[in-house]
Structure 1
Amino acid sequence: MSDIDIFASNGQDLPVTERHDIYAGIQPSKFHGSLAGKVVFVTGASRGIGAATARAFAQSGASVFLAARKIATLEDVKNGIDKDFPGAKVAYYPTDVVKAEEVKAAVEECIKAFGKIDIVISNSGAAENIRTLAQAEPDNWWWTWEVNVRGNFNVTHYTLPHLVKTHGYLIYVTSVGAQYIMPGLSAYQSTKHVLNRLAEFVLAEHDGDVKVFSFHPGGVKTEMSEAAGPEILKYCIDDVQLPAWTMVRLVQGEEDYLSGRFVSANWDLDEVLSQWKEPIVRDDALKNKLTVPKELHRK
């Protein structure tokens, strides 16, 4: 296991500048018009990170399709984009990602509206209250799995055929929690860890056709993090624009070498590119791996 793997294993400690807000490498002005002609499909798009990301992509010239459960909040996001970015193309469909038929219908509506899908931001998620395995309410624990695993599978299943056609991008919004264990968050952290492996499967099955990232959005204060309580909120110090514009950068092409890997919004991507690209690619790093003692390595 290389140093780069060790840094990835605790999520945040890649030896680059830690970012918490917009920085030079993700300045919105860098991406003005860069996504003209592209279509982005965003789940969990009605609030928080999803809404900010939809706005960033619209500002960068993409046509945006919004998917979330509540029509009223979807309309609010659409109206805000229409007001702030005149000429932006926005459509939406009320979608519960746990329900396969609704995800299928949303994808069909996106194709009907815009003709294709170039980018998917799979952002819907859920988290349980902090409870040990013995304390957890079983249905609530499994509901986190339903949203975070079944939901992401449904989005992947129905959008991948379209992404293959466009040689597009799939971003799973996961968490640094995927990389370590905090007692009481077994459902949330294990499901986010699953998304790392899903990204690796997408790469294995569609390498050359689809780029995919398992993306930690930083510690952003959202309704979900607020519901988790003060133990989580103390880490929520990042501006929501950090993940939004980092995702815009990730689909520009320069970070394609990170496809199939865990990526953190807190990493300065300019420094990652200049200092760590070669060892990351060489060691096939930033992926889930099993470490065994050197004495047990095959000769």
Structure 2
Amino acid sequence: MGPHRATLIVNLNSNMPQDPPSETLPVTRVNNVYPFIAPEKHFTEQTYKSKVVFITGGSAGIGLEIATFYARAGAAVVVTARRQQVLDDARAAILKAVPGADVLAISVDVVQTEQVEAAVKATLDRFGKIDICIANAAMVDRWDRPFLKEDPNKWWKAVEVNIRGNFNAAYYTLAHLTKTKGYFITITSEAAQVRIPIGSSYLVSKHALGRFVELAALENPEVKVMAVHPGGIKTEGAMTNPEFEPYLTDSVELPAATLLYLTSGKADWLNGRFVSSNWDLEEVERDWKDKIVEEQALVSRLHVPS
């Protein structure tokens, strides 16, 4: 699918899907890797050589592709997930794509504080530092009923994974990222910016992550912190709701290439903001950077049209 026109919400509002945002900017929507963020230069020049990347939810889908891209760009990568077998498979897949890559696979449940702490310690023991943390672990529930018809414990479990899991990753890596003046990226969703009468555990948790990213950036000024929407990708988690399949048309390479660009030092002005992999970032920077910075946009706020 080729690029087409979309909208970039300047003041991110939680509007109903049928409600037009109060203020928009035109930007091309992309579905696959495009020249501005093409990763080949990073692969060829080994841009991330000597960098250490810690990834939660790194055993499959988006997380595995992100890990593979960083390994191809020269980084040492640490992939975490709950199941050791899928982690072993992920490590084997990375090594097949990048022979000789330095890959550490650690079984971690991100809601278990002590497990995240231990994984970070193991990373430091092995590599001595962390330059980039990608908090990708998430849980998607079935979107087919209002929350009053949900099992309340199941509802809270999704919120816990999506918020506490990100908090734990941030809590145990930010001090080390401060030392390296690194990056903390949480993988969020454009669903964080809409209101629909189902799927509230996911929508609430992803919306809350946006504010958490903003606060993490303010409290940790040496670290670049961003909330990144990866696009609509047909992953196992996304297919929890198979009716969304027609909209899952983006390539899994798109968010991986986007993150290589965002953590390369060329887009640090997006610190503390929401970023979508579906946006043509060349247009965003060329045409809207000044306005976004001036208006402190791409953050969660109440916005009243003038």
TM range (shorter): over 0.9
CA distance in 1, matches of 2:174, 2:25: 30
SS at match of 1:171: strand
Which residue of 147, 162, 186 corresponds with 2:161? 147
Q: How do 1:97-112 and structure 2 match up within 5 A?
A: 97-112=110-125
**Native 8 Å contact 1:25 1:269 kept in 2:** yes
Q: Any gaps of 5 or more consecutive residues in structure 1?
A: 295-299
Q: Deviations over 1:88-138 (max 9, x none)?
A: 111111000010010001001111111100000000000211121221111
Q: Could you tell me which residue of structure 2 aligns to residue 116 of structure 1?
A: 129
Is it true that 1:225 corresponds to 2:230 in the alignment?
Answer: no
Q: Secondary structure at the match of 1:120?
A: strand
- Larger CA deviation: 75-84 vs 266-275: 75-84
Quote the Cα distance in structure 1 between the aligned partners of 2:132 and 2:25. 27
User: SS of the residue aligned with 1:117?
Assistant: coil
Q: Which residue does 1:253 correspond to in 2?
A: 265
Secondary structure of 2:48's match? Answer: coil
Deviates more, 1:44-53 or 1:75-84: 75-84
Q: Measure the CA separation in 1 of the matches of 2:12 and 2:304.
A: 17
Pick from 13, 32, 40 the counterpart of residue 21 of structure 1: 32
Matches within 5 A, 1:58-207: 58-130=71-143, 131-207=145-221
1:5 and 2:10 correspond: yes
Q: For 2:62 and 2:197, locate their aligned partners in 1 and report how far apart those are by CA, in whole Å.
A: 25
Contact in 2 for aligned 1:4/1:280 (Cα 8 Å) = no
The SS at the match of 1:290 is coil
Distance of 2:60 and 2:97 partners within structure 1: 16
Q: Give, as a single letter, the amino acid of the residue that structure 2 aligns with 1:251.
A: T
Give the superposed CA RMSD. Answer: 1.7
Secondary structure at the aligned position of 1:284 is classed as coil
- The Cα shift of 1:287 comes to 0.2
Matched residues in 2 for 1:181 and 1:56: separation?
33
Offset, 1:7? 6.8
Identity %: 44
On the 8 A contact 1:172/1:215 being kept in 2, the answer is: yes
Residue 79 of structure 1, CA deviation:
1.1
- Cα deviation for residue 28 of structure 1 reads 1.9
Name which of structure 1's ranges 7-16 and 162-171 shifts more when overlaid on structure 2: 7-16
Measured in 2, the distance between the counterparts of 1:291 and 1:75 equals 47
Note if contact 1:4-1:279 (Cα within 8 Å) is conserved in structure 2: no
Encode CA deviations 1:189-248: one digit per residue, 9 max, x unaligned: 1100011001101111012x0001111000001111111231x22221101000111011
Residues 148 and 85 from structure 1, CA distance in 2 versus in 1: closer, same or farther, beyond 3 angstroms? same
- The ranges of structure 1 where at least 4 consecutive aligned residues each deviate by more than 4 angstroms after the TM superposition are 6-14
Alpha-carbon distance in 2 for matches of 1:68, 1:42: 9
- What are the Cα deviations for residues 239-293 of structure 1, in whole angstroms up to 9, with x where unaligned? 1000111011100111100010000000011111111111111111000011236
- SS of residue matched to 1:17: strand
TM-score scaled by length of structure 2: 0.91
- Shift in alpha-carbon separation, 1:162–1:53, aligned structure 2, 3 A: same
User: Corresponding residue for 1:297?
Assistant: none
Deviates more, 1:85-94 or 1:257-266: 85-94
1:2-41 residue CA offsets vs partner (Å, 9 max, x unmatched):
x952577679965211110111012121212111110000
Contact 2:155 2:201 in 1 (8 A): yes
Contact 1:126 1:224 in 2 (8 A): yes
Per-residue CA deviations over 1:145-170 (Å, capped at 9, x if unaligned) read 11001111111100111101100000
Number of equivalent positions: 290
Aligned partners of 1:281, 1:6: CA distance in 2, in Å? 12
Find out whether 1:50 has 2:55 as its counterpart: no
Match status 1:275 vs 2:280 = no
What is the distance in 2 between the residues matched to 1:248 and 1:293?
36
Q: How many Å separate the matches in 1 of 2:247 and 2:237? A: 13
TM-score of the two chains, using structure 1 as the length reference? 0.93
